[in-house]
Chains A and B, each alone.
Chain A
Amino acid sequence: MSRTLHDVASGTLFGVALNYQGLLNQRLAEFEQPPYQKPPVKPVLFIKTPNTRNGHDGVVLHPAGQRLQPGPALGVVIGKNASRVSVENALDYVAGYTIVNEFSLPEDSYYRPAVKAKCRDGFCALGPELVAREQIANPHQLSLKLFVNGELRQQNTTANFVRDIPRLIAEISEFMTLHAGDVLITGTPEGRVDVQPGDTVEVEISGLGRLVNHIQAEEQP
């Protein structure tokens, strides 16, 4: 695990759900119905608690009797405290980027907070390293690929964000400060796949490298 990344990105891990157009559009009809009533107006946010932190080459435990799904995502590491920043200035608050694998149990519903699905130990891998903002010419033109045992299973591009990074930072920092070291997990695209104990899971993002994790069965208490 890269020391630099985990030293810098030591704050709160904030996730954004439904931030890929394909994923949101798939469910728009459902979102007009109860319990949702209407599509989301503001970014749909969640928190990955510190016990979920995991690193490059780390083991992710597959809970018995559950389905486990990787969540390939671009991670934005905040470089200085951002409170009420404008879209125009938002990228000044970014230290750099990393790969996030935001593991989750499947989400059938978005109505209630997904603590049980998303806050299990080791369910948020970050790495392999922090890439400085200046090294990524356009964070909205990055390809995202998920490999399971070497086979390509999911791919998309950050061009398909619902909200781009400056807009996310502006809308979130309107009501809460994004602190230096916080990580904004910009969303997982549609098409999450199931993985099994023994699988090797890799997320590749252009310019950021490859984040590798190993799935093992969780022992019963």
Chain B
Amino acid sequence: MKHARIRFEGQVHQAHVEDFNAVRLADGRLLAEDQVEWLPPATGNMFALGLNYADHAAELAFAPPTEPLAFVKSPGTYTGHNQVTWRPDNIVYMHYECELVAVIGKPARNVKREDALEYLAGYTVCNDYAIRDYLENYYRPNLRVKNRDATTPVGPWIVDVADVPDPSNLTLRTWINGELRQEGSTRDMIFDIPYLIEYLSSFMTLQPGDMIATGTPEGLADVVPGDEVVVEVEGVGRLVNRIVSEADFFAAAKEA
């Protein structure tokens, strides 16, 4: 089953998603995909993995890590399905990153990898955009690259663990304006989801709603205002986002 968080007529609802992405509210009403505002399906912190695909590490000219390289994102950077993300003015390189996301379902501390999937609420998809112009070598990748307002689309929904029998064999794809630009498989992850849960929970308690964004394979490209960017993880979801200019984004924010 697919679980979404949406806003409709000013109210936030937990809903189920049915065929053709129709949204079923708890009171039984059925709404079309474009009638609702899709919100990020979880709102905890996100632990995002850098360089977790060997091919992507090579693409960035890094040796694959021997310990997970995790960085933290806060809820202000999330946005939902079918929303917009802004490209800052006067930059050279903003790229998408299609990622499978594991969502934590119950507090996890000192969890062994063989038990790890019991702690999941399910899976979702994120697009972990980065503005490479702003990279600095302090806590890299720094927040100015990775934690910008509305620059991490998440969703559209959370799919149950049982509905994804083999999370280590899923195709990831990104399209810009309908053209396939990135393709990879979760089988090429260096540290898989059970390993990452064991690793993080060995020194901290993961909380319900926290997310682990598991990294992206090779195939990055620049995006510009007007682009429609679609990231898809096979069997989990297809997350649509549109790039707008800095001026358009903040003008719309002021009106809201």
Contact = CB atoms under 8 A, between A and B. Distances in A.
Interface of A: 12, 14, 17-18, 35-38, 40-42, 44-47, 49-52, 63, 83-84, 110-116, 119-121, 175-177, 179, 221
B253 interface: yes
A121 B110 contact: no
Contact of B74 (A17, A47, A52): A47
Given A49-B45, A176-B143, A111 B137 contact: yes
Contact of A119 (B77, B110, B136, B204): B204
B70 interface: yes
Contacts of A52: 204
A174 B34 CA distance: 31
A114 B69 CA distance: 10
State the 8 A-B residue pairs at the shortest beta-carbon distance, nearest first.
A113-B71, A221-B110, A47-B72, A12-B74, A45-B143, A44-B138, A36-B137, A113-B139
B137 A35 contact: yes
Contacts of B148: 175-176
B137 A179 contact: no
A42 B147 CA distance: 14
B136 A41 contact: yes
A115 B143 contact: no
Contacts of B235: none
Interface in B129-173: 134, 136-144, 147-149
A115 B47 contact: yes
Contacts of B137: 35-38, 111
A50 B207 contact: yes
A50 B73 CA distance: 12
Interface in B63-90: 69-77, 88
Interface in B221-256: 250, 253
A42 B136 contact: yes
Given A42-B144, A46-B72, A110 B138 contact: yes
Main SS class of interface, B? loop
B71 A115 contact: yes
Nearest to B110: A221
Main SS class of interface, A? loop
Contacts of B76: 12, 176-177, 179
B203 interface: yes
A176 B207 CA distance: 24
Contacts of A110: 138-139
Contacts, number: 102
A51 to B, nearest CB: 5
Contacts of B14: none
Interface string B112-142: 0000000000000000000000101111111
A130 B206 CA distance: 28
A38 to B, nearest CB: 8
A12, A35, A111, A113 interface centre (most CB from chain B within 10 Å)? A113
Contacts of B144: 42, 45, 175
A32 to B, nearest CB: 11
A177 B140 contact: no
B69 A112 contact: yes
A40 B237 CA distance: 38
A175 B110 contact: no
A4 to B, nearest CB: 23
B253 A83 contact: yes
A45 B148 CA distance: 12
Contacts of B21: none
B177 interface: no
A46 B140 CA distance: 10
Contact of A177 (B139, B149, B207): B149
A121 B204 contact: yes
Given A36-B138, A83-B149, A113-B140, 11 more contacts: A40-B136, A42-B134, A45-B144, A49-B72, A51-B204, A83-B250, A111-B140, A113-B141, A175-B149, A176-B74, A179-B76
Contacts of B73: 47
